[in-house]
Amino acid sequence: MHTLNNRLSKRGQKITAITPRHYLDFIQHYVTLYNEKRSDLEEQQLHLNVGLGKISDTVNQVEDLRKSLAKKQKELDEKNEMANQKLKQMMEDQQKAEEQKTASKGVREKTEGTEKKKLLRELSR
């Protein structure tokens, strides 16, 4: 500042005097700016911390859901296996019933055939 004042005085221009009042105003302005910037940074940090907290919660929820999904998938596989076994058993039972039906139909036809023969014999006598 002294250098600037010396140059200005050589040119014949007005000299700027710096008083303690100017220096105190400068310090006050610096403190105000410092506090504003600090407040802005604290707000940003708070905002980021809230965001990180939400991300952390989401990660935990996803992990819990994956565990739950794995458990449900295991249960589903067990239920599918049981359903497939029941279906297989039903198909076997149906096949046995078809075989029994065919066998009983054959026996019925034989019985009817022998009864018809007996009836014909009796009628022919």
* Chain segment 33-61, per-residue pLDDT in tens: 999 999 999 999 999 999 999 999 999 99
Highest mean pLDDT: which of 5-19, 67-81, 102-116?
Answer: 67-81
Average pLDDT of the residues of the chain: 88
DSSP structure string for 16-61: PP--HHHHHHHHHHHHHHHHHHHHHHHHHHHHHHHHHHHHHHHHHH
pLDDT (mean) for 83-98: 95
Give me 44's structure tokens.
């940003």
DSSP label of 15:
P
- What is the pLDDT at residue 8? 67
The half-sphere exposure of 99 on its side-chain side, counting CA atoms within 13 A, is: 6
Instruction: Kindly report whether the global pTM for this prediction surpasses the value 0.75.
Output: no
Percent of the chain with pLDDT over 70: 87
